[in-house]
Structure 1
Amino acid sequence: MKLYSLLSEERIRLNLAAATLEDAIEEILAPVGRLLEPVGVDKIKATLLERERNLSTSILEGVCLPHARIDGLQDFFLAIGVSPQGIPPADDSQGLIHLIFVILTPLTKNTLMLQTLAAVARLISSAQTRGVLLNVKTPARVLKIVEESGVDVKRTLCANDIMNPVDSFATPDMPLTRAMDLLVDSMDEGLPVLDAEGALQGELASSDIIALGLPKYMDLMENPALLRNVEPFEQFFQRERYLKVADLARKDVVVFKPDTPVVQIAHAMISEKRRRAYVVRDGKLVGTICRKDIVTKVLML
């Protein structure tokens, strides 16, 4: 199924006059309110806004995907709103919202919701496409752009649908102190380790750095509380200046291709007790997936 088949001209609102996300959602939904009965626009709007305040659905700069599972909704619903002037987000995040994709599903069509979220993410992953959508003049042209994109609503959710871009990484010869600075600024508790060609060599995890400062004999002790008088992490402070990333990085990382089904990734991460997995294309690292991503991007519809 193609993404454009879920849309129609009446579900596309250009040049939104709204100054808030609440008013924007109202402006998008009100003209097609009959499609949302018996639930109604007001109840759906309240549900979307509550979710947005608790967990922003902004996935790229200027793009917001308000979505929800709605009890009583009769059919799946997708609509688009375009705001050239921009709208402040519902939470405290920075940046104005210009493209709004509202996605609603009955409680019985959860998989279609996931598939559509992934399809929309692929559609707007190109900055060029986002720029074109922002400047279109008619709903018919929006439909044409979505159709020409060829984006499918795939039956299977894959790694490239939920992976995070690689925003920071370490190199094998990088001083450990420099890598720790990167780790502090990272959203994750680990850094991929890449060589000069961008090939994945392993990962540096915060747990490995902490373990460096613990006496090895602690693993043999039945009661670590007896170590009250041991100077905390003294071994770490003695060695940190001399160590490179390669001295601590682990090489047994979990790697998947971009088209690997998410269910396969989730099984591997749980069965092998891994916090993160890496997505590799043609030998190069293209993204990372943490266990939290499966919760927030797959399970929290």
Structure 2
Amino acid sequence: MKLSKLLSDELVVADMPATTKKEAIAFLIERISKQFPLLDCDQISIAVDERERIENTSYGHGFAFPHARTDEVQRMYIAVGVSKRGLSDKTPDGVPLRVVCLMLTPSNISQLYLQTLSAFARLARNSEHLKRMLEAQTPAEVIDVITNSGVKVDRDLLVRDIMVEKVISVTRETTLKEVANLLYKHRVGAMPVVDSAGTVVGQISNRDLIRAALPDYKALINNLSMAPDVMPFDDLLKAAEKKNVGEIMNPELATTTEDTPVVELAALMIFKNLRMVPVVRDSKLVGVVVISDIVSKIIRG
């Protein structure tokens, strides 16, 4: 199904009067309220605001995707507003915010919402689409741009709908000290290891770092009374700038592709006790799925 099939002229605005994303969200909710007066838009505003406080929904490329899953609606509502002047909010990539796509879905629906969000993200990644949306003078022309983009909403929920594209990765030559700093800085438990061509060759995790400090951990478990205090960690700290990822990384790891159904990947992650799975295209790293992403995006929304 084409993304544009989910849109209607009544909920598309070719040039919003808003100057900030907050004003744009309020404007679009009011637009929905006028078309569907039975909806409790005060409660909807609260739900959207709560979601914004959890995570900034500015995507970059000039787009933002505020959304909420709420019992106040029984089906999906999408309102799109274009700002020809641009909104004043800071954005992840510095590109002025021009298009706000507001999505409202029932609390018990996650698949269509994620598929639609993913479709809007694919639309946003092509700068030509933004240019044409800014040139559009009417709601119908805005929808025509989206129709002509060819972007579709997938039938199944796929890995590309939930994966993280901005991936922190390391190489075999990265030192353990650098790895520890990256794991801490980005609050992740593992990272893919790639070669110079971007091919995934393994992964390194905080468990690998601890295992490097405690190579005889099985013996320690059998005789905890003989366990040293902090000496193994002291030794690892001393060697952290000399040892590199290639010495301790795990070269055996599962990978997935963008077109893999999420339910299939989730089953694999549970079966193999995987917390992070790299997403590859022609063996090159293009994203990752972390088990917490499945929880946060599908269950929490």
TM-score by length of 2: 0.87
User: In structure 2, what is the equivalent of residue 202 of structure 1?
Assistant: 202
How far did 1:34 drift? 4.3
Residues 1:209 and 1:61: Cα distance change in structure 2 (over 3 Å): farther
Report if the CA contact (8 A) 1:214-1:235 is conserved: no
* 1:1-301 map, 5 Å: 1-60=1-60, 62-83=62-83, 84-88=85-89, 97-107=97-107, 109-214=109-214, 216-217=216-217, 219-222=219-222, 224=224, 227=227, 229-231=229-231, 233-301=233-301
Could you tell me which runs of 5 or more consecutive residues in structure 1 were left unpaired when the two chains were aligned: none
Residues 1:202 and 1:38: Cα distance change in structure 2 (over 3 Å): same
Distance 1:68 1:23 in 2: 17
Secondary structure at the counterpart of residue 231 of structure 2: coil
Secondary structure at the counterpart of residue 170 of structure 1: coil
How far did 1:48 drift? 0.9
Distance 1:265 1:202 in 2: 18
> Given residue 210 of structure 2, which amino acid in structure 1 is its aligned partner?
I
> Given residue 85 of structure 1, which amino acid in structure 2 is its aligned partner?
G
Residues 1:175 and 1:46: Cα distance change in structure 2 (over 3 Å): closer
Report if the CA contact (8 A) 2:176-2:240 is conserved: yes
Secondary structure at the counterpart of residue 81 of structure 1: strand
Report if the CA contact (8 A) 2:65-2:102 is conserved: yes
Report if the CA contact (8 A) 2:60-2:93 is conserved: no
How far did 1:107 drift? 4.3
Report if the CA contact (8 A) 2:61-2:124 is conserved: no
How far did 1:263 drift? 1.0
Identical columns (%)? 33
Report how many residues are paired. 299
TM-score by length of 1: 0.87
